[in-house]
Amino acid sequence: MVLMGIDPGYAITGYGLLDYTNGKLRILDFGVVSTKAGTPFEKRMLAIFDGLTQSIEQYRPVSIAIEELFFNRNTTTAIGTAQARGVAVLCGARAGVPVYEYAPRKIKQSITGYGNASKEQIANFLQQILRIDLKPETLDATDGLAAAMCHFYQENNPVVKSNTGKGWDDFIKNNPKRVSG
CA distance 144 to 48: 14
The count of structural domains within the chain is: 1
Which listed residue (133, 140, 143, 155) is catalytic?
140
pLDDT band at 159 (very low <50, low <70, confident <90, very high): low
What length is written for the chain?
181
- Structural contact between residues 181 and 133, judged by C-beta atoms closer than 8 angstroms: no
CA distance 6 to 107: 11
Residues 6 or more apart whose Cβ sits within 8 Å of residue 144: 4, 5, 6, 7, 13, 14, 15, 16, 30, 32
pLDDT band at 178 (very low <50, low <70, confident <90, very high): confident
Q: Please state the pTM of the whole predicted model.
A: 0.84
- Using the predicted structure, report yes or no on whether residue 176 has a pLDDT greater than 70: yes
- Using the predicted structure, report yes or no on whether residue 180 has a pLDDT greater than 90: no
CA distance 14 to 119: 12
Given this model, what pLDDT does residue 71 score? 67
User: Is residue 68 annotated as part of the catalytic site, yes or no?
Assistant: no
- Give the domain CATH number at 120: 3.30.420.10
pLDDT in tens, 26-52: 999 999 999 999 999 999 999 999 999
CA distance 154 to 152: 5
pLDDT in tens, 106-119: 999 999 999 999 98
Say whether 97 sits in a helix, a strand or coil: coil
- Structural contact between residues 148 and 67, judged by C-beta atoms closer than 8 angstroms: no
- Using the predicted structure, report yes or no on whether residue 121 has a pLDDT greater than 80: yes
Q: Which domain holds residue 154?
A: 2-178
- Using the predicted structure, report yes or no on whether residue 19 has a pLDDT greater than 60: yes
Residues 6 or more apart whose Cβ sits within 8 Å of residue 10: 35, 41, 44, 45, 48, 80, 81, 83, 84
- The candidate with the shortest Cα–Cα distance to 28, out of 19, 41, 36, is 19
- Structural contact between residues 6 and 53, judged by C-beta atoms closer than 8 angstroms: no
- Average pLDDT over the chain, rounded to whole? 88
Which listed residue (29, 67, 68, 137) is catalytic?
67
Q: In terms of DSSP H, where are the helices of 96-177? A: 104-112, 119-130, 139-155, 158-162, 168-174
User: Is residue 137 annotated as part of the catalytic site, yes or no?
Assistant: no
User: Is residue 140 annotated as part of the catalytic site, yes or no?
Assistant: yes
